[in-house]
Amino acid sequence: MTAAKAAETRIRHFIRCGRHDARMREEVRCAARGRQIRKGETEIYSRTISGTLSGLNAETVTVEANVTFGFPVFHIVGLADTAIKESKERVRAAIINAGANFPQERVIVNLSPADIRKEGTHFDLPLAVSILTAAGRNCGKIPGEGEKCAYFGELALDGSVVPVKGILPLLIDLSASGIQTFFIPAENLKEASIVPGIRLLPVSALRELLDHFAGTRMIRPVETGRCRKADIAGTGGTYGTDYADVEGQEEAKRALQISAAGLHNVLLVGPPGSGKSMLIRRLPGILPPMTWEETVEVTKIYSICGMLDAENPLMTERPFRAPDMRITPASLVGGGMRPKPGEISLAHLGVLFLDELPEYSRQCLEALRVPMEEEAAVVVRTGGKVIFPAKFLTAAAMNPCPCGYLGDDRRECTCTQYEIARYRARLSGPFLDRIDLFVPVRRPDRISFFEDDGNRTGMSTAQLREGVIRARSAQERRFDREPISYNSQMTPGQLKKFCRLSEASEKLLAEAVRSLALSVRSGHRILRTARTIADLEGKDRIEERHIAEAIRYKKEDGKR
């Protein structure tokens, strides 16, 4: 009888007799392998570094592995989610297929700190490294915690390392904590190269990593920080559409320019075929280019969602999101069992387009009220809350009635008063109160299908964008020492400081609030809009005509 068979027979005998002496079982198992246990040699411990995401922020996680002589089991503790717990079989198969031996002892892995929930498949690689280090199997010398190395990567069953989501925010936050060397999936290399001042080692397979540690085939480190501010200069607004293609609608273009200049929410109301959607879809083209900090912030959000282009991972254009009207509140605002950014966060620093606004569910529209004010989406769960940034420009479009032809001079409306009232009641007063510009859009009087570009006289995207950039520059100087960037963000105290009115202007504003039965919030929004109109004209002082134009855009709300 072989030594292993004899050891197995003795262990079964101990169990049948009720003798659960762990030390005796360890001695039997080690004797079967020709080893002798010495004092203090029953456990082998190792640890590696990784990270976990909470919203857009990452926290350092220490992956601790403990190999104890005993029955072969594999446990993962430390508040891990289902994806991490299921990684046990992936890690086991990947280690074996990489040519290493998975330890046949009791393996316990702890993800520290244990009071923070860990999510994501990127823990596969640090799990494998910690286990092989603790077991001392075919690894050679593996960098320890003192060398400040972190590992990220999902393992396939054949031992290859596949890309993961959220690598950019993980690297940014962990590098800020002092970690400089990162082992990452090779397919995430271009995205990770955005982070400056770190050392990246791209890994394609676990076998490749083990050879690197053994010194037989080294992984060449990659320099980072290739993408600089100069790389994105002037790249914003390349959407391939121009407002010069839109005939007429100069009033609507003017309103959209005001909206873009001060980040004011806008609603276009008009019959089908009047060009509402066409006007709004060109809105990102007149927004100013993103700064480097804004580019990185937007790219982090899309990295978490796995929506980056593998070849060009940097988001250089402002987002434009147009969610379907059947969207759920969780998909719009963000949420889920594992909270993820919603459409409003994907529209961060860009435009959120809501076409056919009344067709969205009441729950979705009401869920937008707080993010429109707070510029953030807060997802609350039992284990805490997650905050996603959501500073977006709301641009919506709707018909004036269910049939769409109320007030149209070409086609008669067929809706009853009850149907019209019911249709408009889908939009609550508090939601409409957060809209700054109500813009009526009528169908153009003349349409030419084959007009020469040289004969167009309307404002183009370049002209509108020039005014927007000029107004944004004025706001940048004004709010240089303030925690805001746009006129639409001004608090009541800042309104008093930056929006001083003449006696006639103040009287006009007070009369409009009274006659139109507007709330105090609406009065403040009129004042913010007037400030933006003055900035577009290059005026330091808000004049009476600026107040009058701002009231005209809000007056449409009063009519409804």
3-state SS, residue 197: coil
The pLDDT of residue 10 is 58
Task: Answer yes or no: is pLDDT of 545 > 70.
Answer: yes
Q: Six-digit token pair at 430? A: 């508090």
How far is it, in rounded angstroms, from Cα 275 to Cα 277? 6
pLDDT score, position 83: 87
Single-letter residue type at 281: R
- For the four alpha carbons of 473, 479, 484 and 487, in that order, the dihedral sign comes to negative
DSSP string, 287-300: SPPPPHHHHHHHHH
* Helix axis angle, 544-559 to 520-536, nearest 10°: 130
Q: Between the ranges 15-29, 282-296, 514-528, where is the mean pLDDT highest?
A: 282-296
CB count in 10 Å sphere of residue 17: 8
Of residues 404 and 14, more confidence is placed in 404
H-type helices in 215-281, by residue range? 229-232, 250-262, 276-281
- Residue 349's nearest CA partner among 390, 300, 308, 303 is 390
CA atoms of 313 and 193, how far apart (whole Å): 10
Residue of 512, 520, 549 whose CA lies nearest to 532: 549
Alpha helices in 147-289 (DSSP H): 167-176, 189-192, 206-214, 229-232, 250-262, 276-281
Placement of tokens 């994806």 in the chain? 83
pLDDT digits (tens, 9 = 90+) for 447-467: 655 555 555 567 889 999 999
Alpha-carbon dihedral of residues 360, 55, 236, 498, nearest 10 degrees? 80
List, for residues 70-92, the tens digit of each pLDDT value. Answer: 788 899 999 898 889 999 999 99
For the chain, give the longest Cα–Cα distance.
107
